[in-house]
Amino acid sequence: MTDLEQVRSFWSENPLWTGESDYAAGSKEFFEEHRNVYIHDCFAGEFDLRFLPPPRSNGQNMRVLDLGCGIGFWTAEFAMRGLSHVVAADLTPAALENTQKRLNTYGIDADLREENAERLSFPDASFDHVNCQGVIHHTPDTEQAVAEISRILKPGGTASISVYYRNPILKLWPYIRWIGYPLAAIGGGLKGRGRENIFLEKDVNEIVRLYDGDKNPLGKCYSRGEFAAMLEKHFDVKETYLHFFPARALPFKIPHCLHKWLDGHIGFMVYASVVKPCVE
């Protein structure tokens, strides 16, 4: 079984977007390219407003935790959109260093904390909103991380959480994986992090693990029902929705309308907007 030290070691040596970019990690160009790829390539050009914390009576002073902040994409988006009490937390100092450089690049601010999502050091009921995108499927005890998010949220607090989604492509892969051969032959695949041959992989679980790099120790994917069932133990699930279709892996350009449709209907991640009940 994968332990947390293997997870920490992988993400310390391979922070998000390193190995994919030609720009120096931590440079302005590196962060701008990452934002561009995130929004234009993975989200088909749309920053979905459902990712923002719902408005509160304490307005922009609400306390927001960006849990598993990676290289600071969400932290920077929140700070640039006027939220003044954002805490960015990650398992690795490497992620926090990158996040700090990103914040410095844009002259914005957040509190940075080294934290393990499975055992957060924050007191109960200390945040209004938690943002946790693409993190809990990398930690060994995913259910414990969900319980911790609930613990540190105030009653009535909200969270936006996402994991890899077992979409129809992954479900059908054993029957359709032959399409991977021509796609790979004409240049399909993902650049860097040892993922060039991702289209040739037979095992669906391996594809999910490989997405973040060939040395990634852990990546899990969920059906919508499995994800909702895990969250419903602690939250009211208001909505689940899909995004994340990294079109750059294809060896040809696809029309924007098709990319948009794929993003919303067979995206590779499932997102949930949840509320912590006032009485558990």
Binding site for ligand SAM (CB under 6 A): 7, 11, 16, 68-70, 73-74, 90-92, 95, 115-118, 133-135, 138-139, 212
**Cβ-based nearer residue to ligand SAM, 7 or 130:** 7
Closest approach of ligand SAM to the CB of residue 269, in Å: 9
Check: CB of residue 191 under 8 Å from CB of residue 81.
no
Q: Answer for the pair 14, 221: CB distance below 8 angstroms, yes or no.
A: no
SS3 content of the chain, % helix, strand, coil (to 5): 40, 20, 40
Cα–Cα distance for residue pair 154/129, rounded to 1 Å? 8
Minimal distance in Å, beta carbon 68 to ligand SAM?
3
Q: In the bound complex, which residue of the shown chain has the CB atom lying closest to ligand SAM?
A: 70
| DSSP-H helix ranges across the chain | 4-13, 28-36, 73-80, 93-106, 142-152, 168-176, 180-185, 204-210, 224-232, 256-266
With contact defined as beta carbons under 8 Å apart, do 89 and 68 qualify? yes
Least distance (Å) from ligand SAM to the CB of residue 251?
24
Q: Are 152 and 126 in contact (CB under 8 A)?
A: yes
Please identify, using beta-carbon distances, which residue of 16 and 44 lies nearer to ligand SAM: 16
Closer to ligand SAM at the Cβ: 16 or 25? 16
Asked if residues 117 and 93 have their Cβ atoms less than 8 Å apart, the reply is no
Least distance from ligand SAM to the Cβ atom of residue 132, Å: 7
How many Å apart are CA 190 and CA 210, to the nearest integer?
10
CB closer to ligand SAM out of 66 and 201: 66
CB of 8 to ligand SAM, least distance (A): 7
Minimum Å distance from CB 217 to ligand SAM? 10
Closer CB to ligand SAM, residue 75 or residue 251?
75
Question: Please, which residue, 116 or 150, has the CB nearer to ligand SAM?
Answer: 116
Closest by Cα among 125, 65, 108 to 90: 65
